[in-house]
Amino acid sequence: MVDPDAALMDAFRRGDESAFEQLVGRHRDRVYRLACRYLGDATAAEDLAQEAFLRVYRARTTWRPEAKFSTWLYRVTANACLNELRARRARRAVEATAPAAPGDGPAPEAADAAAVDPREAAQRAETAARVRAAVAGLPDDQRMAVILSKYEGLSYRELADAMERSVPAVKSLLVRARENLRKSLEDGR
């Protein structure tokens, strides 16, 4: 089956700038959501999502359809996320006493505008915060595996390609991640 994204990338390589715009249109939301969930920071997520597309733009002459375009894009985004986290940790180590930057706030809450019962909404928000904290507390690679599996629906094979791991390694990551999430949420009762 022909990967429509690969056809667009090929057209882009041959100079069709509109093909790049179509690729952005097809993938911008998932790239942004992945970054948003991973970093927990909407401002940084947009910056990172744009960085991922900049890499696509620059890679048009070197990209080869060895994997599905979307899997490659997930890999680019995942690597950018991991690099951003490392950079943040390095900055925090240096600025340990500085106040938190505005962009370091949590990701947007789950939309609750439709909830009619304020108590239920409050409880839901509290639970969401605990779940988000549990995910944020996972080791980097487990968190990425969870996000790509749970929210992006990647198979273990696709996860392995996106994370540059073996399928058994991905399987093990998800076993550990589920255990850690459950323990973290139970401990937080």
Partner 1 sequence: MKCDEVRENLAAHLDGEIEGASRRAVDEHLAACPACAEELRASEATWRLLDLIEAPPAPAGFDARLRARIGDAPRGRLLRMPLPAAAAAAAILAAVGLLALRAREGGEPPAADAPPVPVLEDLALLESLEVLQAGEAEALDRLDDFGEDDLAVLGG
Which residue ranges make up the site for partner 1 (CB under 8 A)? 15, 21, 24-25, 28-29, 31-33, 36-37, 42, 46, 49-50, 53-55, 57-59, 61-62, 76, 79, 83, 107-111, 123-124, 126-128, 130-132, 135, 146, 149-151, 155-156, 171, 174-175, 178, 181-182, 185-186, 188-189
Dump the DSSP string for 45-72.
HHHHHHHHHHHHHHTTTT--TTS-HHHH
Q: State which amino acid sits at residue 43.
A: T
Instruction: Pick between residue 96 and residue 111 the one whose CB is nearest to partner 1.
Output: 111
Q: Left (φ > 0), alpha (ψ -120 to 50) or beta: where does 40 sit?
A: left
Q: What backbone torsions phi and psi does residue 156 show, to the nearest 5 degrees?
A: -60, -35
Instruction: Pick between residue 2 and residue 188 the one whose CB is nearest to partner 1.
Output: 188
Cα–Cα dist 56/54, whole Å: 5
Instruction: Pick between residue 54 and residue 101 the one whose CB is nearest to partner 1.
Output: 54
Instruction: Pick between residue 87 and residue 101 the one whose CB is nearest to partner 1.
Output: 87
Nearest one of 126, 124, 8 to 57, comparing CA atoms: 8
